[in-house]
Structure 1
Amino acid sequence: MGGAVTDDLEAELQAAVDGEVRFDAGSRAVYSTDSSNFRQVPIGVVVPRSVEAGVAAIGVCRSHDVPVLSRGGGTSLAGQCTNTAVVIDWSKHCRALLSVDTDRRTCVVEPGIVLDDLNEALRPTGLRFGPEPATHRSCTLGGMIGNNSCGATAQRTGKTVDNIAGLDVLLYDGTRFWCGETDDATYAEIEHHGDRRASVYRGLRQVVEEFGDDVRREFPRIPRRVSGYNVDSLLPEHGFDVAGLLVGSESTLATVLRAELELSPVIPEHELVVLAYDSIADAADHVPPLVEQDPTRLEGFDHKLVLDNELAGLNGDVLGELPAGRAWLMVEFGGDSRQEAHDAAARALRAVGLSSGDDRVRVVTGADAASLWRVRESALAATARVPGHRDNLPGWEDSAVAPEQLGGYLRDLERLWDRFGYADRTGPSVYGHFGQGCIHARTPFDLTSADGVRTYRKFMEAAADLVVSYGGSLSGEHGDGQSRGELLPRMYGPRVLEAFARVKSIFDPQDRMSPGKLVRPLPLDANLRLGADWAPRDPGRLAFAYPKDDDSFREVANRCVGFGKCRQHEPRGGVMCPSYQVTSEEEHSTRGRARLLFEMLDGHGDGPVREGWRSTAVRDALDLCLACKGCRSDCPAGVDMATYKAEFLWHHYRRRLRPRADYTLGWLPATAAAVSALHLARPLGALTRRRPVARVATRLAGIADRELPTFAPRTLQQAWGRHDRARGDGHRGERGTVLLWPDTFTNHFAPHIGRAAVQVLEAAGWDVTMPDEPVCCGLTWISTGQLGMAKGVLRRTLRILAPHVRSGGLVVGLEPSCTAVFRSDAPDLLPQDSDVARLRDQTVTLAELLHEHTPGWQPPRLDPDRTVPALAQVHCHQHAVLGWEAESAVLGAAGIALETIDGGCCGLAGNFGFEPGHEEISRDIAEQALLPRLADTAPETLVLADGFSCRTQIHELDRAGHRPRHLAEVLAEALPH
């Protein structure tokens, strides 16, 4: 589209739509791809605040004759969520549960509601929406309807199409109506009106009359046929279900505005049977008799998936619990009672000639079952990017056959992979919904060379012919999109394809609903996100090493696979991604930022982001990244946006002036050292406690107007000097010497914590030493992207610590963010420095030292007469880098009944909450989990927070007045005095 036309379209949308209209480079870049191999830059993006606003947006697009594409969670694997169109993103505002009818077991929802959010809201009713894809944390109901999603639970509840009572839909021409099953009386009433809806229904009935027998003959009779339009739903024996037809139509026929869903009762008890086999095909051969036993889930996976888990460092605690074999079936049975579930599992084992005592059988329930399910559910995370191997990509990740054909199909598919050179030690890993014959397997396609793309095409064509020869479907769950739309003629004859074209012309005669997908599809090797012509710009010298990405920023920018776990609206057992949780903005998700970094490299020369490292669009998207590192551990692909942000800021501001806050906050350690040397702590504290003075100071410093932490009159190192001299040579710890790291925050703001740590360490038998000159890990320079200075600071620190670490001495960190620098950031900033490697391996937390390196030590009980309840805010870097297991063990042994706040960043995250413009976001993040939980906790309850940021946020925002304490303080208080 020309610039003037686009400007007119944008202006009209702005005027007519109650919502956010975005034609800027950053938004178009963020929405240019999904989880697939494809990329198409949209014309613009509209985020309507209501369903009616979405209707208005489509009306404006119609007046300009431009295509539209509805988008939910953006997790599609076949290219359904990418197009050169105006993208309507329903997921931010249109996510309401409108009504629930428990008697009819139905509910009405808006299209942007996330599946997990819906089922959580339905929990009190004892009902849930049955199909549950692997992306249940982020996929929307609108997207599930568009793709006809399924998941493991479809074994019991069927596909999405089997759980839809009705749809409120909008055609491109403005026609709007509810649809569902249509009996003769309803059809006659519709026909009587003689309007556009009547013509649609009349045309669809003609399709049934003309092509019904072809559909009956050619549609595969298998549980998981998701390829093509659901014309079979229009057959009389299926109730002329127009809603069923539209399910799985991938936004190519109509826009879903609301949906009436059929709900299933929650099964309260389950028992899991794990069966081991010599090969994945042998496992598949065993599926049909197990299906006859009516399991609630029946999944399979091979030894390569287990190897991928091992290489990716996933689920190491449970892989050894699998019975010995090279392939496994996971068969779950349910019931209203545990006994009922157990009896169902026992009957199934007897039916296949096995028992719970066999070596290749494991029967588990409860937490043990949940742990084993993680192995299967980790499949995408484990297989997408296997360390040391080629990336595995979607394309042929979703084929399906009848369960009784599964073993033979898998043997032939493995031979096909081998013939095309795709079979190696780790890939493709095979897993999937074996009880319904659906196979998931990502393939190591080479999509960056002409030969690789040609081979990809030939394989896709051969694979399509193979699955059709088994009477199967190109797709069993993910839909066709651009991956498989071109292959539909290999699955269906010309008559069925003509029926599809007729359906498209009835609903969308102008081809403005996501053109190029399903009907008149684009080639499967066009619009590739990579492709033989992908030529990303050279990013130049990098500040960090990226060993997991071959030290290539091009690989870094490709790490995100689009799974969308970062898009959860509430913190559930994780941290990622705090800013998205409060803004629901795609560009504030880890995925959205990763997409922008990819577009920044401008590999196709047509992207909206052209300024490289100087891009303001990328800078603005990264501005609300808290550098919490939650994505480092929570992202299935291991995206580390905190590191990428620091790298970007280093390049972006290189040889340019930075925002004042970068200097104020980045150089905090140097400022603190000067305050200490000049004995300015007391006068500065007296001044900043005066609110007008503090307000002027923050304005001059370029930081947020909020309460400032005060410098301690005497630093930890100063107090240590007196302590060290006072004890003389009389104290020698029998366990050896540890170095207590005097991080900037403990040293200058909370020295009492350091003093408490010394008491605990000495009581545990350790001799403590500490540097007697100013030292720093470089954290604040890293987080502000001043990486040259950070490297210099680290090198100086390494020189000071070298004698201790070279002798094998341990370094004890008290501040999680600074400790994490030594364990993660420093080795990537100075990868060739052997002292950095030593420091990484010899840095421990206080709890790790006491729990893992102090044999025989028992912590003092806080109260010898009772168990003390406590609440802990786990610092983000503890969650992502350091771990919390040692802290839990030590606190438990000290007689403390610990509850950790379920996920959620405190919102301060280092310097983030002190940067101007972040105050509201910082508070909103704290309101996600931290502050509500504190509000429900008695003021006298022990609250643990090892992080300085967490304690600062609690001190300022907690209305209940809790005094958060560090682990060192708690243990020191319990010591005998």
Structure 2
Amino acid sequence: MQPVDLPLPVVRRPRPPADVGSLERDLRARVDGEVRFDAGTRAAYSTDGSNYRQVPIGVVVPRTVEAAVEAVAVCREHGAPLLSRGGGTSLAGECCNTAVVVDWSKYGNRLLSVDPENRRCVVEPGIVLDDLNRQLAGYGLMYGPKPATHPNCTLGGMIGNNSCGSTAQAYGKVVDNLHRLEVLTYDGVRMWVGRTGDAELERLTAAEGRQAELYRGLVALRDRYAGLVRERYPDIPRRVSGYNLDSLLPEHGFDVAGLLTGSESTLVTVLRAELELVPVPEHTSLVVLGYEDICRAADHVPAVLEHEPAALEGVDHQLVHFQQVKHLNPDALKELPGGRAYLMVQLVGDTREEVEDKARALIDAKPDDVDHTWYEDEQHVHELWLVRESGLGATAHVPGEPDTWEGWEDSAVPVDRLGDYLRDLKRLYEEFGYGHPSVYGHFGHGCVHTRIPFDLESEEGIARMRAFVEKAADLVVSYGGSLSGEHGDGQSRGELLVKMFGPELIEGFERLKGLFDPGNRMNPGKIVLPHRLDEDLRLGADHLPWEPETVFSFPHDGGRFSRAAARCVGVGKCRSSEGGVMCPSYRATREEEHSTRGRARLLFEMVNNDSDSPVTDGWRSDEVNDALDLCLACKGCKTDCPVNVDMATYKAEFLHHHYKGRLRPLAHYSMGWLPALARGAALAPRTVNALTSVPWVARVVKALGGVAPERDVPLFAEQRFTDWWRERGGTRGAGHRGEVVVWPDTFTDHFHPAVGRAAVEVLEAAGFRVKVPEAAVCCGLTWISTGQLNVAGRVLGHTIDVLREDLRRGTPVVGLEPSCTAVFRADAAELLPKDPDVERLREQTRTLAELLVERAGDWQPPRVDARAVVQRHCHQYAVMGFDADRKILERAGVDADVLDAGCCGLAGNFGFEKGHYDVSMACAEAGLLPAVRDADDATLVLADGFSCRTQVDQAGTGRSPLHLAEVLAAGLTGREAVPDRPGAPGARALLPPGVAGAAAGALAVWCSRRARRLRR
């Protein structure tokens, strides 16, 4: 083989193409996919999970691998920088760049083939790890590495970062679990690469063309740097920093796929991957050991490793404390043993006996002063792992604590030196005045995660951050460790790699880059020829965001909307496809800007005063409005998001300002003012129902109200709950448990009054004296959700006036509609923060189940003895929780299958609004509707939310869900639990057809005459 000249990259900092418009036109013309150069998309992709921000040139969402190949070709012709992106959760800045971003996650997410015999599969790079493993479960196989972001990280992103996770203890990093990669260079070479035998390598290097040139260059790199690689690469399992030149060594089989793994889109675009799979463990148990401090726990790691754990994770008391403060994983925290630091040891085996023997041996060998717990059931093991996997989110935006940031969050050292490293790291924290950040991580591999309270908004703070990171890099190198043990180098550590590898190997990295990407167009500025670690910051010393006045008080963000808009840290949990509530619109569309994270990015750009911000119109921004349009305001993110982004509140605030002083969408008038319209309809509910049952009248009504034509207009009850209450004579009995106010929300009062009647019956049977407000009252929910906050504030103020005496007497207020109850428990105090009676309302409002559990603990509900499918309302899930309901259902003998199916999709006004029907139904079909259809006739369907019940009613399932109050009331009398309301199957209350037609005709004549008068 002829001597090879190993080039260096030609350009250190490539500029964007001069003619971006031409680039966009060519991409649109030639790429089968979605090409987006609009401001909203560019804002949504401007950052990842890191401290960095670079606004992309544009985004391409290819429908096929061939489309992605064509996109690269177009970028090459225009000289445009390119970034191939996975889930966008990277913490070192490798997933944001001033480049054309290729996002695989929407379409390029297929499992292409499975070879069970050889335990391999072929995937496209956009497939999410959990989705892949669900598809592999039928074969008894799985992909081994499992990062904490497994519900939303993609395989392409894992390959780009050489990801690991807790299971790397048993299975290694991604580089250890790849057979082949199909890759594409920027200049158009497309090839499958993997381990290369001597004969194959000789054939490849002897050939002509660019591929042969690449292989000859790789051989030359191996020969030139092999000695330095063996000398300077840390011999630890978590060396993720730098390029994998060690994969080219003979002992690793000249593995080009291994070389390219962890290259963070700086060398090639990965098109497909052939993965090596492992069997799903037959049996698993988890032993948690409790220590006096985290350094002592780290000292004990080598002894625990003798028991061959499948995973060995460390958690300190600070992480547990932060989760307690943020109310994360409360059940799991109770299951931890005594101590202030913990080792979580997962053991696996082929039989239950084998796993039990391993656990007992570990427990018998532990020091006497180390406490422990031991769990084998799936539920407890899952709950406890959430304590560890919640680490990043739990340590960010902790109430009462300074904000923390990445920057030194995944260093790795030899396991036998981990305890001493942690002691030195803690001393370094103190030296720089950073207090006592939480440390946790993959202790079985010596990998430490942490977030540090850097000041990234002043020159002094940024200089101190830089000094700390430089000194921390020296520290980890002195221990023979790696700057990155999991999350890659990107921009956070690229500049520091010379400390770890020395200048000769850094030149080797640059020559590798020059071989594959001589023009430095692939994700430039990351790993090699890096931008400085203290530039391109999302905040920065010149970060002076717009501080708009707001109606909501945003107490969790210091009253500053700009801080709320910056709350998202990019974990990407909102992009998961199963579990919890967040984010239903993303699950339906798979669009980044329709995720909670994407919307947060746009809001950040909206208040960002940076000159290159793509969102420039403030509250009037159409880009932000478009992104928020498909937000269901379900509040799932308020709980599911690890940093508690509350997009429903942000949306209400934005809509208030966006439409201030101008016409609103029709739906804001029809559904925003629903309580007022409902009171008008209550004057003649049968007539209104009859008219809206006439097809052409319904079409007109829906068109005028901005209602989706596919929806049925809900039927009004013939007798309101409050009318029934007055006819009944109001309060009865002494009520030995005291007085309660049953809240007559609009939905209960006007649409499903049977729920209110049932609640009164149950509360009185439980020993309460029930009151119902006699004045017209409302929580203001519909005005809040449509952004009419001034009206909402006035409505809430009136409500407080009506309830004031009861509130000051400490009378509980029982909410029956979860969304209205959530207003009292959360929104009202942020909308009217200075009224002490609003705070009393928050403290005294309870759901029916909460009141029965807290104030009638000795009351035995009637036995229902039935099975039930239960849909939790999103607002109840997010604000009040569902534990009390579970307890009451259990007491009543209801075998409840509480669905973890996400939002019903109707979500108040959302599913009724024109243009939202398809997304609404896609949300419902993701879990709720299939579960209802699968339930047999003897199984009850429970849903406390009016929206949830209406969605099921209108979906053609033949089922009409019940409220908890209706089930309990039926048990009191022994009657069958069936819905008693308009809209339930067989319960549509209409006038006779002839009368309905005549009424519709009379309405048409009146409308015509009224129109003529107005024209005059």
Q: What TM-score range do you get, normalising by the shorter chain?
A: over 0.9
Q: Which amino acid aligns with 1:210?
A: R
- Residue of structure 2 equivalent to 1:961: 958
Equivalent position of 1:536 in the other structure:
545
The answer on 1:681 being equivalent to 2:685 is: yes
Specify the code of the residue in structure 1 equivalent to 2:19.
V
Question: C-alpha displacement at 1:940, in angstroms?
Answer: 4.3
* Residue of structure 1 aligned with 2:815, choices 813, 816, 832: 813
AA partner of residue 385 (structure 2): W
Deviations 1:899-929 (A, max 9, x none): 1222211110000011111011111111111
1:123-272 correspondence runs (5 A):
123-272=137-286
SS in 1 for 2:180: strand
Does the C-alpha gap of structure 1 residues 295 and 3 become closer, same or farther in structure 2, counting only changes over 3 Å? closer
Asked whether 1:715 is paired with 2:727, we answer no
State the SS of the aligned residue for 2:24: helix
Q: Secondary structure at the match of 1:687?
A: helix
Q: How far is the alpha carbon of 1:363 from its aligned partner?
A: 2.5
1:519 equivalent in alignment to 2:528? yes
SS of aligned partner of 2:387? helix
Cα gap change, 1:464 to 1:4, in 2 (>3 Å)? closer
**How many residues end up aligned between the 2 structures?**
958
- Aligned partner of 2:706 in structure 1 is 702
The SS at the match of 2:23 is: helix
Tell me the secondary structure at the aligned position of residue 826 of structure 2. helix
1:748 aligns with 750
Q: Does 1:419 align with 2:431?
A: yes
Alpha-carbon distance, 1:506 to partner = 0.8
Task: State how far apart, in whole Å, the 2-side matches of 1:301 and 1:942 are.
Answer: 42
Alpha-carbon shift at residue 359 of structure 1 (Å): 5.4
How far apart are 1:121 and its partner, in Å?
0.6
Of 630, 639, 647 in structure 1, the residue corresponding to residue 645 of structure 2 is 639
Q: Which amino acid aligns with 1:511?
A: N
Give the one of 499, 508, 514 matched to 2:517. 508
- Is the CA contact (8 Å cut-off) linking 1:287 and 1:434 kept in structure 2? yes
Partner of 1:690: 694
Relative to 1, partners in 2 of residues 1:925 and 1:768: Cα closer, same or farther, differing over 3 Å?
Answer: same
Q: What letter corresponds to residue 639 of structure 2 in structure 1?
A: S
8 Å CA contact 2:16–2:80 kept in 1: the answer is no
- Name which of 474, 489, 494 aligns with 1:480: 489
d(CA) in 1 for partners of 2:244 and 2:105?
A: 25
Q: Indicate if the aligned counterparts of 1:632 and 1:639 stay in contact, CA closer than 8 A.
A: yes
Residue type matched to 2:390 in 1?
S
CA contact (8 A) 1:323 1:359 kept: no
Once residues 537 and 370 of structure 2 are traced to their aligned partners in structure 1, the CA distance between those partners, rounded to angstroms, is 47
1:494 CA displacement: 1.9
Q: Structure 1: how far apart are the matches of 2:728 and 2:735?
A: 15
The structural deviation recorded for 1:3 is: 9.3
Amino acid at match of 1:714: Q
Counterpart-to-counterpart distance in 1, 2:790 and 2:925: 36
Tell whether the 8 Å contact from 1:277 to 1:328 is kept in structure 2 after alignment.
Answer: yes
For 1:684, the aligned partner's letter is V
Name the SS of the counterpart of 1:317 in structure 2: helix
SS in 1 for 2:493: helix
Whole-Å Cα distance in 2 between the matches of residues 137 and 59 of structure 1?
32
1:246-395 pair list within 5 angstroms: 246-350=260-364, 352-354=365-367, 360-366=371-377, 367-395=379-407
Shift of 1:4: 7.1
Is the aligned partner of 1:663 residue 2:661? no
Q: Which moved more, 1:380-389 or 1:186-195?
A: 186-195
1:930 and 2:928 matched: yes
Give the residue type in structure 1 aligned to 2:663.
L
- Aligned-pair CA distance for 1:267: 1.1
Deviation (angstroms), 1:937: 1.7
Distance 1:213 1:664 in 2: 75
Tell me how far 1:193 sits from its aligned partner: 3.0
Contact in 2 for aligned 1:69/1:514 (Cα 8 Å): yes
Aligned equivalents of 1:160, 1:239: Cα separation in 2 = 16
Paired with 2:938 and 2:958, the residues of 1 have a C-alpha distance of 9
Q: 1:780 corresponds to which letter in structure 2? A: T
Which TM-score applies when normalising by structure 2?
A: 0.93
Q: Give me the whole-angstrom Cα distance separating, in 2, the residues matched to 1:212 and 1:7.
A: 46
Q: Which residue of 1 aligns with 2:941?
A: 943
Instruction: Pick one of 449, 469, 478 that aligns with 2:478.
Output: 469
Q: 1:250·1:481 contact (CA, 8 Å) conserved in 2?
A: yes
Equivalence for 1:455: 464
CA distance in 1, matches of 2:886, 2:484: 45
Tell me, yes or no, if the aligned pair for 1:80 and 1:481 is still in contact at 8 Å. yes
Equivalent residue number for residue 103 of structure 1: 117
For 1:213, the aligned partner's letter is: G
Q: Give percent identity, aligned residues only.
A: 59
Match of 2:918 in 1: 920
**Shift of the alpha carbon at 1:319?**
2.6
Post-superposition Cα deviations, 1:94-135, rounded to whole Å, max 9, x if no partner, equal 000011111111110000000000011111111111111111
1:32 equivalent to 2:38? Answer no
3-state SS, counterpart of residue 182 of structure 1: coil
Structure-1 separation of matches of 2:502 and 2:766: 78
- CA distance in 1 between counterparts of 2:656 and 2:646 reads 16
C-alpha separation between the residues in 1 aligned to 2:960 and 2:124? Answer: 43
Q: Is the 8 A contact 1:906 1:930 kept in 2?
A: yes
Query: Contact 1:827–1:837 (CA<8 Å) still a contact in 2?
Result: yes
* Residue in structure 2 matching 1:771, options 770, 773, 789: 773
Indicate if the aligned counterparts of 1:170 and 1:255 stay in contact, CA closer than 8 A.
yes
Whole-Å separation in 2 of the counterparts to 1:277 and 1:820: 40
In 2: Cα distance, 1:836 partner to 1:965 partner: 31
Distance 2:371 2:897 in 1: 37
1:588 aligns with 2:594: yes
Give CA-to-partner distance per residue, 1:68-113, whole Å, 9 cap, x none: 0001100000001000000000000000001111111111000000
Cα distance in 1 between the residues matched to 2:908 and 2:850: 23
Shift of 1:353: 5.0
Superposed CA deviations along residues 19-40 of structure 1, whole A, max 9, x for unmatched, are: 0000000000000000000000
Distance 2:126 2:375 in 1: 36
1:268 to partner: Cα distance: 2.0
1:844 equivalent to 2:852? Answer no
AA aligned to 1:784 is T
Quote how far apart the aligned CAs of 1:716 are. 0.9
The 8 Å contact of residues 911 and 917 in structure 2, kept in 1 or not, is answered as yes
- Deviations along 1:251-302, one digit per CA (max 9) or x if unpaired, are 0000000000011111121222222222222111111122232110111121
AA at the equivalent of 1:955: D
Which residue does 2:994 correspond to in 1? none
Matches within 5 A, 1:826-865: 826-862=828-864
Give the conservation status (yes or no) of the 8 Å contact 1:940–1:962: no
Alignment of 1:790-801 (within 5 A): 790-801=792-803
Distance 1:402 1:910 in 2: 54
1:933 CA drift (Å):
1.3
Unaligned residue ranges in structure 1 (runs of 5+): none
- Once residues 968 and 781 of structure 2 are traced to their aligned partners in structure 1, the CA distance between those partners, rounded to angstroms, is 27
SS in 2 for 1:169: strand
Secondary structure of residue in 1 paired with 2:890? helix
Output the amino acid matched with 1:393: W
Mapped to 2, the partners of 1:808 and 1:899 lie a distance apart of 35
Q: 1:885 aligns with which of 877, 883, 886?
A: 883
CA distance in 2 between partners of 1:879 and 1:526 (Å):
41
Q: Which residue of 2 aligns with 1:976?
A: 973
CA distance in 1, matches of 2:841, 2:17: 56
Contact 2:58 2:100 in 1 (8 A): yes
Q: Say whether residues 1:555 and 2:563 are aligned partners.
A: yes
Alpha-carbon distance in structure 1 between the residues aligned to 2:289 and 2:876: 37
Q: Is the 8 A contact 1:39 1:82 kept in 2?
A: yes
| Conservation of the 8 A alpha-carbon contact between 1:230 and 1:246 | yes
CA offsets 1:659-694 (integer angstroms, 9 cap, x no match): 111111101101111222xx2212111110111110
Instruction: Name the SS for the 2:330 alignment partner.
Output: coil
Q: Which amino acid letter does the alignment assign opposite residue 906 of structure 1?
A: C
